[in-house]
Structure 1
Amino acid sequence: MNVNIQQKRPKRRGVLSMELLLTLPIFATLLLGLFEFSLLFFARGDVVEASRVGARQASIQGASIEDVEAAVMHSLGPRMSSRASIHAVLGDYSGDEVIVGVRVPMSSASPNLLWPIGFNLHGRHLYCQTRMVKE
């Protein structure tokens, strides 16, 4: 009787590998997207902090554009500072508004992992602008 039960079961050889073959690309894409988004999220925080550091430096009386750029580059670190661009407007008098903008290409902050599915980082930037009042 035990032999009859085993003979009536349908053969399911290879079903698990077929399911894995169908779901693995979707799972890998989700993991790569999560990894890339996490790197961009943390890089965005670095750009925001660099903009704030630059605005703090610009708000000090007697600060120059070179001082602001040096503070921003130091805050960004070597990975992103090489391709960063900084725009600063320094006020002349106490109470004037100072503006510091920092732009970093996304491709220098994160590897371009999702280009095969059409999400390309080339030509996209992380940007932050901070406004403060000059002391």
Structure 2
Amino acid sequence: MNVNSRQIRPGRRGVLSMELLLTLPIFATLLLGLFEFSLLFFARGDVVEASRVGARQASIQGATYEDVEDAVRLSLGPRMASRATVLAELGRHSGDEVIVGVRVPMSSAAPNLLWPIGFNLQGRHLYCQTRMAKE
């Protein structure tokens, strides 16, 4: 029995196209989600580092709120610094606790790619708070 390899069995035409049509949106959503969450993961590391930098600056004797805010914004970089909010409680005396919080909107850290499936970054924030003792 010699069967031509180019011959297609009846009833199987278009099955591959239909399988691709059904799986492609799921695969694309998975890739977009992986991309967006990777960006958010790295942005969270930047926010944590900026909070630590701000707390180190705040722990120095004579540091002002403006010094802390400048250090945080410099650490964040231009993409997130413009929309960041810096909260700082500076201690007065040596040994007092200083608290620096950095809050950045998620939409400035990553594109909002998953809004069609119900995961929206609008109104969500990355936040980190660091506490240190004043020198």
> What TM-score, normalized to structure 1?
0.94
Q: Mark the CA change 1:13 to 1:55 in structure 2 (over 3 Å): closer, same or farther.
A: same
> Which position in structure 1 is the counterpart of 2:53?
53
Q: Tell me which residue corresponds to 1:28.
A: 28
In the aligned structure 1, how far is the partner of 2:47 from the partner of 2:21? 40
Partner residue, 1:130? 130
Q: Structure 1 residues 133, 7: CA separation in 2 closer, same or farther (over 3 Å shift)?
A: closer
Report the aligned-residue RMSD: 1.6
Counterpart for residue 37 of structure 2? 37
Work out the CA distance in 1 between the residues paired with 2:115 and 2:26.
15
SS of equivalent residue, structure 2 residue 22: helix
Which residue of the partner structure matches residue 107 of structure 1? 107
Q: Distance in 1 between matches of 2:128 and 2:2?
A: 72
Distance 2:72 2:88 in 1: 11
SS of 1:120 mapped into structure 2: coil
SS state of the match for residue 2, structure 1? Answer: coil
Q: Does 1:14 align with 2:14?
A: yes
Please give the secondary structure, in 2, of the residue aligned with 1:104.
Answer: strand
2:112 is paired with a residue whose SS is coil
Unaligned residue ranges in structure 1 (runs of 5+):
none
Equivalence map 1:68-87=2 (5 Å): 68-87=68-87
Residue 2 of structure 1, CA deviation: 2.8
